[in-house]
Amino acid sequence: MKLKLKVWRQQNNKDKGGFQTYDVVAEEHMSFLEMMDVLNESLIEKQETPVAFEHDCREGICGSCNMVINGRPHGPNSGTTTCQLHMRFFKDGDTIVVEPWRSRAFPVIKDLVVNRSSFDRIIQAGGYVSVNTGQAPDGNSIPIEKDIAGEAMDAATCIGCGACVAACPNGSAMLFTAAKVSHLALMPQGKVESSRRAKNMVATMDKEGFGMCSNIGACEADCPKEISIDNIARLNREYVGSVFGGA
């Protein structure tokens, strides 16, 4: 299939940047990233600078393949990362617009690559459990209800890709932060630090320049792991409890 790509090119965060148009021939069995590889191979052959984009596992696990494709983070398919999106979902002659995540908290490094270290700092603020255990206890020695364990695991599937931020018109990181708070707050091991965790992580999120949540729901719709916005409600409860509970 013959495609026309409009790709965002930007040398660095200070560069104004803009779209450049390329013609690409791709096979329908290719993944989107494989199609981008084909584009870059053709650019290299022409002695032009290839498009910078981030990737690692190419299996929907790491969350690094952050691209906005035709206006949607990770492309048109629900519950799918960019690396899992295949070209059979496009038609011969299509024009595809490819952009980086758009957020003040995710400054562009180059082309489609953005700096998501703000997520790391949110996790460092409270996304952990600290406890003196002595010798490590057996993992099955603490009874946890199946439903609660299931909810915690659902929240823990967040891969930190940043699609929620890119999808939100406010550039909010509430779904990401809520998922990280929820999967620890639900487990008994995380109860001790739950109030401090919520307060510190929300404070860091605000400091990093993310916008406020206004319950639009675009984050849930475009999350490749389909994290529920119910987690945002839990984060709000944890945060209110930490502030007014005196923790």
Q: Domain-by-domain residue ranges, the chain? A: 2-109, 117-244
**Which pLDDT belongs to residue 190?**
84
Neighbours of 33 (CB within 10 A): 19
Tell me the mean pLDDT in the region 166-191.
Answer: 93
pTM: 0.91
Kindly report the three-state secondary structure assignment for every residue of 81-125: CHHHCEHHHCCCCCEEEEECCCCCCCCEEECCEECCHHHHHHHHH
- Which option is the CATH number for 2-109: 3.20.20.100, 3.10.20.30, 3.40.50.1370, 3.40.1190.20? 3.10.20.30
Q: Report pLDDT digits (tens) over 117-162.
A: 999 999 999 988 877 767 766 666 777 888 998 999 999 999 999 9
Walk across the sheet containing 72-73 and list its strands. 18-25, 2-9, 95-99, 68-69, 72-73
Give the SS3 label for residue 160.
coil
- Rounded CA-CA distance 210/205 in Å is 6
- Rounded CA-CA distance 132/136 in Å is 9
C-beta separation of 59 from 83 below 8 A: yes
For the chain, percent of residues with pLDDT exceeding 90: 83
**Which pLDDT belongs to residue 228?**
96
**Which pLDDT belongs to residue 141?**
72
Tell me the mean pLDDT in the region 163-171.
Answer: 97
- Which option is the CATH number for 117-244: 1.20.140.10, 3.40.50.150, 2.70.150.10, 1.10.1060.10? 1.10.1060.10
C-beta separation of 101 from 66 below 8 A: yes
Token couple for 217: 């729901």
